[in-house]
A and B are shown apart, each in its own frame.
Chain A
């Protein structure tokens, strides 16, 4: 059997891919599932698995070669198979199809389209998996994969059309499901079970006896419940579980913490929120704006590793982590560097509300260049966050707390907030993170700068 190895299409937007490395040589025996090459795309580096078995007969695109999606890059076949017609396929406008026998001197009857058809992606001929040592090509949210699950070779999910639609609508990631249909096919029932699973109906707390007067001895009341229970991973939790180790593992994090005096920011917020007809501004809105302006000033932080390059983003799209029952999700507020505070406030509230209602669109979950995770509402003094790949940094924000501070030689009460940036050391260094934090701190401490 002859298996054509084609450049895989890993996202809707992907047009070309580059062969970074061949892991097999011509003549090597290949078993289905063997990793044969590494390929670089705009989003990630992936390994290509062989779908068919045989011998690697021909490498058509050498290391470093960049070809369109669907282009033949290698041929796997039995030693006896005749692959002469295949190896001829050159990049781009493929070789003309061999004229059918008997046409004699007449021009080839094959219409020009026949040749162009060759580079079409043949989904059966390759399988690709994320290369775990490289940048992770997925977002850590459960809703986003709905766009990629069907048809994307990386997914290779066997699911019924109805299961796919229900999954897309409900944000269930088909890739983490076990199919119960014939041959492990994911059917409607599996998706519905997954939808039901993440929220085990909160069993109403058993009615407690009315306030009992203090007893001399503590009696353990009879406990019906088992010692523990195994709650199935929600699809979102499963996605987080899958992606986070791909951040914390391969991405070397470092952390920089700084304390901000929030007194003036608090005053400004009070004044803004007293204005008639203006949206209410939260502390987090001020932080988003401060980060966005600082990212423009520190492009090295608004950056990510992209293959062998560092991609510097020119726009500040800020992912804002929203905690949900089933996990967390990071909707993206775009162009925060140019949007006025009032706009950020309106959009941030809208995104958070829709995130909790499960009504976000896929495009609202992708494309962040930097993220903010704020646990201030939980009375957290400080914490550090895990970078949301493929971003290069994330800011973890604690509560605004009243603290004794020294002002003009005397101890007074001041509002203080701690923030910690986690940075990808492959992309940036400590000083860059520190300078960024300094800028954020300055903006928040002189908050009128956020308005000008």
Chain B
């Protein structure tokens, strides 16, 4: 059977793959994509999108619980977790269909099945109807990642579940231990706690959201504890043993060992690149610590073979994958793409309060010897936040003292994940504190916190 010919074969249709495919098509290349699940990858189907739907439910439950604050009397209410999950599935289905529509619109061929590299120009796709070969002048690998576990702990998706299970399970446990207080762990902890699950969050590093600024971690840890969750940082998990209708977790903290029990454990200790069975070794595609090594143009060590997204390392974030997909597509089309600026990728966590950041934390900026100035503004002093009844959190700007360079911005609070982009644009344009303060911010908006924190960094905050 003769192989089908394309300009580009994209293996995987998550955010990295589908964006790369569409950009290739825009640039006039013929494109085939290979997908062993549904188009859209983990992000649209099992990750970012359905969890945002669940978190919206959690937020609404939270508002119902606070109804009296707003003078609304409820005679009880019922929050059905199964329906929350069903809603999130509908949201995910709709977004996945959107990807299929975009493929049709851009005349991209979708080949269902599992792809593996046979040569630098051939991908063999094994699907229900057998195997077929696709020939491409270039290949983009975008197979993503999957949840990791701790050594010796098996994820059975029953008592020890990963985000894959959590996002599908329509039943909720009575109690849950979340291992890992990164974005995934904190978001699910928030959802489950809102639906009345007794949640314990364990983190091996000294604070929750360990990649975020220390002040942000401290605030979010406090808020979670106040909402009734048990938050324990600096705790080492020794063993996870399912049995007796639940699971026992042995932990070591400050030299003492103790045993915790819950109905379920959510393993949220990170994700590993999905590269097995892709045929990387046979082709000699270089990897480093499990991730595919790539050039700034996203090309692997094998000419004509590109890799984007989680499998290519660095931040495992959908928006980073999309940016890389565009770079790979443009490089293949012979453009000279601007490489991804990995120092300027926003990081967002959608728990309540939301957390968003870009650039360096205060500690990082100091540790590299920068003389810095820091401005903070609490949402308690922001009129819009007070009106919304969402005053928890703050916006913090870390800048270089002499030039006003925006070194890092850290937000915990309402719509933090939207507010961060003012600074993302600012950093891309190499704006300094002065450009932010000379930008008129509408009143009343949450964005005024950005202005005020920037003013505070210059010692000029008006509303503090």
Contacts and interface: CB of A to CB of B under 8 A. Distances in A.
A57 interface: no
B214 interface: no
A161 B402 contact: no
A163 interface: yes
B365 to A, nearest CB: 15
- Size bracket, chain A contacts: 10 to 19
Interface in A159-177: 160-163, 165-166, 169
B354 to A, nearest CB: 28
A166 B429 contact: no
Interface stretch (B101-109, B125-133, B344-352, B431-439): B431-439
A162 B402 contact: no
A130 B146 CA distance: 63
Contacts of A163: 430
A243 interface: no
B405 interface: yes
Interface string A149-189: 00000000000111101100100000000000010000110
Nearest to B406: A162
A6 to B, nearest CB: 24
A165 B429 contact: no
Contacts of A188: 405, 430
Contacts of A162: 403-405, 430-432
A149 to B, nearest CB: 15
Nearest to A189: B430
B403 A160 contact: no
Nearest to B434: A161
Interface in B431-455: 431-432, 434-435
Contacts of A160: 429-431
Nearest to B405: A162
Contacts of B402: 165, 169
Contacts of B430: 160-163, 187-188
Nearest to A160: B430
Contacts of A165: 402-405, 432
A188 B405 CA distance: 10
A358 to B, nearest CB: 14
Interface string A185-212: 0011000000000000000000000000
Interface string A244-278: 00000000000000000000000000000000000
A161 B400 CA distance: 13
Nearest to B426: A161
B429 A169 contact: no
A35 B431 CA distance: 34
A316 B456 CA distance: 46
Contacts of B405: 162, 165, 188
Interface string B398-433: 000011110000000000000000000000011110
Contacts of A187: 430
Nearest to B427: A162
* Among A160, A162, A163, A165, residue most surrounded by chain B Cβ atoms (within 10 Å): A162
Contacts of B435: 161
Contact of A166 (B338, B403, B431, B434): B403
* Among B338, B405, B430, B435, residue most surrounded by chain A Cβ atoms (within 10 Å): B430
A437 B434 CA distance: 52
A195 to B, nearest CB: 13
5 contacts: A160-B429, A161-B434, A161-B435, A169-B402, A169-B403
Given A162-B403, A165-B405, 9 more contacts: A161-B430, A161-B431, A161-B432, A161-B435, A162-B432, A163-B430, A165-B404, A166-B403, A169-B403
CB-CB nearest 6 A-B residue pairs: A160-B430, A162-B430, A165-B403, A161-B432, A162-B405, A161-B435
